[in-house]
Amino acid sequence: MAADFSKTAELLANCSIYRPVPEMHGVLSGIVCTGSTNHDVELAQRILELDEQELPDIINNLMQMLLADIRSQLQAGDYGFQPMLPDDDEPLPSRISSLADWCDGFIAGFAGAWVRDESAMMPETREVLADFSRIAQVDQHDEHLSEKENEINFMEVVEYVRMAAITVYQQNAPGNPKVFDEESGPEVIH
């Protein structure tokens, strides 16, 4: 069951935590997508610069629940994983900013949890991280396009981000068979 964006934002605000929900979800998603089986909430809290000593138990529980939810969605195999973003009725600039926060969080979480040698990282994972870095820098819609065109472009980027995160997880998930060819490097067998 996917967590609700509005309720999560409300809970964070009620606990005086003003980190964007998409950033938090992105950090947690990035941690899970490294393939690490130790999904450490304390690591996420450090990355998000939250003082773990002062966090109420409800926030620790929320983060544990989000980690479990992310892991469950990614392991399901039905491609149902969704980045936690505001509803479609929010203004497009707000949704674009949220997607940028999610991608930025994903990169931070992935980098913070990646414990293997950098040479073990698949080329596709590197490409996704580079793409997410570019998406994290986008802060507005294209003023030369119509509202409908901007909506369509945004939906396409969200779909790319969603599928790219799934791909990164699949490449790094424990038990994923990998073949190493000396000429082409690591390759995932499907």
Domain ranges, residue 94: 5-180
Position 166 pLDDT exceeds 70: yes
Banded pLDDT at 141 (limits 50, 70, 90): low
Give a yes or no: residue 188 inside a domain. no
Average pLDDT of the chain is 86
What mean pLDDT comes out for the span 157-174?
94
Give a yes or no: residue 133 inside a domain. yes
Q: How many domains does the chain have?
A: 1
Give a yes or no: residue 20 inside a domain. yes
What mean pLDDT comes out for the span 133-151?
83
Rounded Cα distance, 124 and 19, in Å: 29
pLDDT in tens, 10-66: 999 999 998 999 999 999 999 999 987 776 888 999 999 998 778 899 999 999 999
Q: Which of 130, 188, 186 is nearest to 160 (CA)?
A: 130
pLDDT at site 3: 76
CA-CA-CA-CA dihedral for 166, 41, 67, 91, to nearest 10 = -80
> Do 76 and 32 contact (CB within 8 A), yes or no?
no
For residue 66, what is the domain's CATH number?
A: 1.20.120.740
Rounded Cα distance, 122 and 158, in Å: 22
Output 16 or 183, whichever has higher pLDDT. 16
Give a yes or no: residue 137 inside a domain. yes
What is the dihedral sign for C-alpha 42, 44, 46, 51?
A: negative
> Do 93 and 141 contact (CB within 8 A), yes or no?
yes
Give a yes or no: residue 91 inside a domain. yes
Side-chain half-sphere CA neighbours of 1 within 13 A: 3
Banded pLDDT at 143 (limits 50, 70, 90): confident
